[in-house]
């Protein structure tokens, strides 16, 4: 009976928008979600341990490229959104979504410290009637084995006093078509009532909800999605190696295969995988399966091939320079694009970092240009983007395209750089324009 009334009360508060919604972790995932809840009419409190993130948001400044500052500022001004670093504010919430980092430790095992800290903060400030949803990507079993005991240690029975679910985040930074609202949301609760109330929360601001039968199912959905990408990218990366050995253009093969209207899905090769998800998430599943004495062979193989790609790009640079009678040592190399993918400013796990350090190990002088990454620090060394200028293009012995940002004028690159090594096919179909036919006929682009 008590369960029924907790459920009814929470559903009524969600339907009337009287519920106060909390979002724990205001990064790439949490901030857009918080603003979506605010847009749906809720009062939203975002809790983040970073004082600088909190202060910036309260000034109306967004630190996430896909979220305009104007959206943050208007939600703050309307009293619909506030950010705080005070965990006791969690006591005001009726529902909390957790979107904290889930990185890998150096040993490639899951690093659960952020999820544990967030769960502890919630357990310390929990009250009957609260709905908690974990959104951070993680191994199957996390919600039940790690989250549930913390709530029960606080004296609350999950499914009766409080509700607990997992709902994977699917945000695709830089995607102009699919956003938080129109991307279907998978929800799996510890009990059927947990799934029901969590689904009601997300239905307030997301068009399509996909309820599943358990938290483990919901956790695995996310891992399948990202393992699928990792394995297919590994496959096309291997095709690139195969094509290189056979003297065939891999991009032409892929484009032609992609004309098949059924049974083929296009993936493209590149200098390696980056970002927070695809290089890391499959290892959460591999780790979990190792604890059950099972080796996830597809995951391991894809990871092996994908992580070899930066070295292959560097090998291609060395070969192309060699064809121009130049050693890598002492050459000036301009890396174009250091973000992990097109049109984003996120450098996490970017293959550009490996390419740069491998080139420097061979004695090259490496500079970079990225319109979205004005500077970055790696291994204690601060780097600043050089301008995208005629002088920089002409001065480099080689320009290496790692990230194909759409704002870059690739024709200008092909025209001015003495040598281009293109790991993204950004220069496809471009021919060097020059003052004389001899220059026009000199091919200066190598596909990496």
Ligand X SMILES: NC(=O)c1ccc[n+]([C@@H]2O[C@H](COP(=O)([O-])OP(=O)(O)OC[C@H]3O[C@@H](n4cnc5c(N)ncnc54)[C@H](O)[C@@H]3O)[C@@H](O)[C@H]2O)c1
The closest of 158, 84, 159, 82 to 121, measured between CA atoms, is 84
Asked if residues 215 and 165 have their Cβ atoms less than 8 Å apart, the reply is yes
User: Would you say 46 or 320 has its CB closer to ligand X?
Assistant: 46
| 24 makes contact with ligand X (CB under 6 A) | yes
Residues 64 and 291: their CA atoms lie apart, in Å, by 36
Is 23 a binder of ligand X (CB under 6 A)?
no
∠254-296-149 over CA atoms, to 5°? 125
**Number of residues forming the site for ligand X (CB under 6 A):** 26
Asked if 29 touches ligand X (CB under 6 A), the answer is yes
Q: In the complex with ligand X, which residue's Cβ is closer, 27 or 434?
A: 27
User: By C-beta, is 276 or 432 nearer to ligand X?
Assistant: 276
Residue placing its CB nearer to ligand X in the complex, 126 or 171: 171
Q: How far apart are CA 351 and CA 54, in angstroms?
A: 30
Q: Say whether residue 101 binds ligand X (CB under 6 A).
A: yes
b/e sequence 221-260, b meaning 16+ C-beta within 10 Å: bbbebbbbbbbebbbbbbbbeebeeeeeebbebbeeeeee
Smallest distance from ligand X to CB 330, Å: 38
**Quick check: 42 and 80 in contact, CB under 8 A?**
yes
Binding mask 122-161 for ligand X (x = CB under 6 A): --------------xx------------------------
Pair of tokens at residue 145: 């084995």
Work out how close the CB of 416 gets to ligand X at its nearest, in angstroms, rounded to a whole number: 34
Verify binding: residue 48, ligand X, rule CB under 6 A: yes
- Closest residue to ligand X in the complex (CB): 27
Joined tokens for residue 144 = 């039940």
- Report the site for ligand X in 418-437 (rule: CB under 6 A): none
Q: How far apart are the C-alpha atoms of 164 and 151, rounded to whole Å?
A: 9
Q: Applying CB under 6 A, which part among 5-13, 41-49, 74-82, 360-368 lies near ligand X?
A: 41-49
Q: Would you count residue 26 as binding ligand X (CB under 6 A)?
A: yes
| Cα angle 349-58-81, degrees, rounded to a multiple of 5 | 95
Q: In angstroms, rounded to a whole number, what is the distance separating the alpha carbons of residues 384 and 366?
A: 11
The yes or no reply on residue 28 touching ligand X (CB under 6 A) is yes
Task: Tell me if 173 contacts ligand X by CB under 6 A.
Answer: yes
**Smallest distance from ligand X to CB 257, Å:** 28
Q: Between 136 and 427, name the residue whose CB sits nearer to ligand X.
A: 136
Question: Any contact of residue 180 with ligand X (CB under 6 A)?
Answer: no
**What DSSP assignment string belongs to 59-77?**
TT---STTS-HHHHHHHHH
Ramachandran quadrant class, 272 (left: phi over 0; alpha: psi -120 to 50; beta: rest): left
Taking the CA atoms of residue 262, residue 268, residue 274 and residue 276 in that order, the dihedral angle to the nearest 10 degrees is: -10
Q: Which of residues 331-390 bind ligand X (CB under 6 A)?
A: none
269 binds ligand X (CB under 6 A): no
- Applying CB under 6 A, the span of 112-120, 311-319, 378-386, 407-415 interacting with ligand X comes to 112-120
Identify the DSSP state of 80: S
CA 231 – CA 135 distance, rounded (Å): 23
Cβ neighbours around 60 below 10 Å, total: 15
Check: CB of residue 25 under 8 Å from CB of residue 48.
yes
- Note whether 187 and 199 are within 8 A (CB): yes
- Of 62, 84, 97, 102, the one binding ligand X (CB under 6 A) is 102
> Of these, 21, 45, 95, 171, which contacts ligand X (CB under 6 A)?
171
Is residue 117 a contact point for ligand X (CB under 6 A)?
yes
CB of residue 280 to ligand X, shortest distance in Å? 7
Find the shortest distance in angstroms from Cβ 176 to ligand X: 15
For residue 187, state whether it binds ligand X (rule: CB under 6 A): no
Active site residues: 277
Residue 437's contacts (CB-CB under 8 Å, 6 or more residues apart) are none
Question: Judged by CB, which is closer to ligand X: 51, or 246?
Answer: 51
Nearest-approach distance from CB 152 to ligand X, in angstroms = 20
User: Considering only 45-53, 190-198, 295-303, 386-394, which stretch makes contact with ligand X by CB under 6 A?
Assistant: 45-53
Q: Which is nearer to ligand X, 285 or 314 (CB)?
A: 285
- Taking the CB of residue 389, how many other CB atoms lie within 10 A of it? 12
Among 3, 27, 111, 371, which residue sits at the site for ligand X (rule: CB under 6 A)? Answer: 27
Point out which span in 46-54, 125-133, 244-252, 390-398 binds ligand X (CB under 6 A): 46-54
Q: Which residues bind ligand X (CB under 6 A)?
A: 24-30, 47-50, 53, 99-102, 114, 117-118, 136-137, 169, 171, 173, 276-277
């Amino acid at each position: 009976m008590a369960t029924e009334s907790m459920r009814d009360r929470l559903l009524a508060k969600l339907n009337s928008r009287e519920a106060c919604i909390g979002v724990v972790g205001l990064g790439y995932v949490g901030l857009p979600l918080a603003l979506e809840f605010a847009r749906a009419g809720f009062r939203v409190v975002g809790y983040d341990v970073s004082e600088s993130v909190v202060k910036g948001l309260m000034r109306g400044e967004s630190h996430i490229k896909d979220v305009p500052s104007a959206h943050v500022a208007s939600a703050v001004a309307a009293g619909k959104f506030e950010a705080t670093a005070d965990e006791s504010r969690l006591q005001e919430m009726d529902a909390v979504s957790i979107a904290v980092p889930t990185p890998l430790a150096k040993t490639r095992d899951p690093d659960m410290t952020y999820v544990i800290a967030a769960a502890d903060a919630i357990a310390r400030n929990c009250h009957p009637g609260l709905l908690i949803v974990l959104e951070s990507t993680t191994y199957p079993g996390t919600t039940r084995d790690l989250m549930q005991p913390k709530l029960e240690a606080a004296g609350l029975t999950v499914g009766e006093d409080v509700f607990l679910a997992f709902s994977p985040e699917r945000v695709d930074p830089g995607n102009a078509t699919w956003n938080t609202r129109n991307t279907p949301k998978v929800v799996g609760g510890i009990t059927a009532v947990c799934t029901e109330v969590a689904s009601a929360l997300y239905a307030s601001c997301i068009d399509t909800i996909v309820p599943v039968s358990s938290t483990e199912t919901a956790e695995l959905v996310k891992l399948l999605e990202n393992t699928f990408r990792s394995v297919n990218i590994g496959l096309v990366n291997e095709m690139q190696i195969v094509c290189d050995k056979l003297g065939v253009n891999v991009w032409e093969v892929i484009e032609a295969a992609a004309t098949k209207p059924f049974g083929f899905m296009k993936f493209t090769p590149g200098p390696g995988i980056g970002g927070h998800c695809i290089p890391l998430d499959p290892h959460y599943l591999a780790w979990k399966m190792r604890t059950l004495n099972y080796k996830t062979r597809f995951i391991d193989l894809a990871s092996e091939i994908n992580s070899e790609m930066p070295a292959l790009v560097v090998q291609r640079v060395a070969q192309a320079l060699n064809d121009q009678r130049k050693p890598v040592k002492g050459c000036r190399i301009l890396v174009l694009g250091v973000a992990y993918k097109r049109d984003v400013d996120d450098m996490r796990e970017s293959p550009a970092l490996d390419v740069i350090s491998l080139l420097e190990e061979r004695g090259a002088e490496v500079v970079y240009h990225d319109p979205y990454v004005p500077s970055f620090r790696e291994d204690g060394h601060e780097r600043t983007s050089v301008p995208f200028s005629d002088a920089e293009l002409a001065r480099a012995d080689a320009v290496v395209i790692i990230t194909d940002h759409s704002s870059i004028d690739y024709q200008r690159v092909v025209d001015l750089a003495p040598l281009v090594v293109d790991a993204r096919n950004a220069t496809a179909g471009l021919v060097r324009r020059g003052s004389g036919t001899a220059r026009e006929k000199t091919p200066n682009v190598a596909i990496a």
